Structure 1
Amino acid sequence: MKFMIIVKANAESEAGKMPSEQLLTEMGKFNEDLVKAGVMLAGEGLHPSSRGARVRFSGSKRTVIDGPFAETKELIAGFWLIQVKSKEEAIEWVKRCPNPMESDTEIEIRQVLDDDDFGAEFTPELREQEKRLRAQM
């Protein structure tokens, strides 16, 4: 099972405050533990929303909205993508994580959909296309 571990932004991360050397060291150790355990697929920090944009879809219309975005508790400051056996295992990994913001924050754990979750609508042809695309990545 794949899980996206989402680090929620706070006022400091949205202001562009970079982590301390101590936190970077602790995060490096945590990432090393994830890699050694064979569960880490990806992980990155993100720039503040002031450097980002959103594209709003309304029918065929597309509207670009430049950051920053007002509600920090709904923004993402970083993520990990891990592959583990269960949600419980993902939770245990997150509980071992150093506090990524050095102040109040929240980490969300979301399971990534796999091919079987899409049901019959994900036809054999679409599955084969997806398999080819993943091989190319």
Structure 2
Amino acid sequence: MKYMLIMRATDEAIAASREIPFEEMIATMGRYNEEMVNAGVMAGGDGLTEPEEGFVVDFAADPPAIVEGAYGPTESLFNGFWILEVTSREEAMEWARKCPLGPGSKLEVRRIHGVEDFPQDNEWVQKEKEWIAAAEEK
């Protein structure tokens, strides 16, 4: 099963992280990533750019409106993520606890739906299986 670890932080945690030398921060995260790769559980992950570079699509309007830049309080935004392929919810918890984040940071951990979670006789579920198989062949 797959889980997503979603990294969140407060303004204070972000300010504190800026006090850590960049090379030290990269090395610490690199060791964590390497441990997950070596264990065979890391399926993906990335850090995200600053929220000011993003935008929100608001579907309350017709046509949907684009809202530029940051939105919401800092702690509601996410800064990066990992995708883990693990055998259980407990294993996902173990990896989340090992993450080298500091005070004021949080990881939201959510299971990612698999195609097996949906009715297998649905035409779109069948197409999804075909798309997944085609992507795996590439």
TM-score interval (norm. to shorter): 0.7 to 0.9
Match of 1:30 in 2: 32
CA shift digits 1:45-72 (9 cap, x unpaired): 1112111001112475211011111311
How many residues end up aligned between the 2 structures? 134
- Separation in 2, partners of 1:127, 1:30: 32
Unpaired runs of 5+ residues, structure 2, are none
- Normalised by the length of structure 2, the TM-score is 0.82
Range with bigger deviation, 29-38 or 122-131: 122-131
Report the residue type matching 1:29 in the other structure.
R
* Alignment of 1:119 onto 2:82: no
Q: CA RMSD in A?
A: 2.6
**1:9 Cα offset (Å):** 3.5
Q: For the structure 1 residues 42 and 128, does the alpha-carbon distance in structure 2 shift closer, same or farther, using more than 3 Å as the test? A: closer
Q: Residue 8 of structure 1 contacts residue 108 of structure 1 at CA under 8 Å; is this kept in 2?
A: yes
1:6-35, Cα deviation, whole Å (9 max, x unpaired): 001332649x95963322211111100000
Q: Distance in 2 between matches of 1:63 and 1:23?
A: 37
Structure 1 pair 119/51, CA: closer, same or farther in 2 (3 Å)?
same
Give the direction of change, closer, same or farther, for the CA distance of 1:17–1:62 in structure 2 (3 Å limit): farther
Deviates more, 1:69-78 or 1:104-113: 69-78
Assess, with a 3 A threshold, how the Cα gap between structure 1 residues 103 and 112 changes in structure 2: closer, same or farther.
Answer: same
Give the counterpart of 2:57 among 51, 55, 59: 55
Q: TM-score, structure 1 length as denominator? A: 0.82
Paired position in structure 2 for 1:108: 108
Describe the shift of the 1:55–1:19 C-alpha distance in structure 2 as closer, same or farther (beyond 3 A): farther
Q: Residue 13 of structure 1 contacts residue 48 of structure 1 at CA under 8 Å; is this kept in 2?
A: no
**8 Å CA contact retained: 1:115, 1:122:** no
1:92-122 superposed Cα distances (whole Å, 9 cap, x missing partner): 01111111xx441110110000002122463
Match of 1:135 in 2: 136
- Percent identity reads 30
The runs of 5 or more residues in structure 1 that have no matched partner are none
Q: Secondary structure at the match of 1:25?
A: helix
Structure-2 residue corresponding to 1:7: 7
Amino acid at match of 2:119: G
Contact kept, 8 Å, 2:7 with 2:78, in 1: the verdict is yes
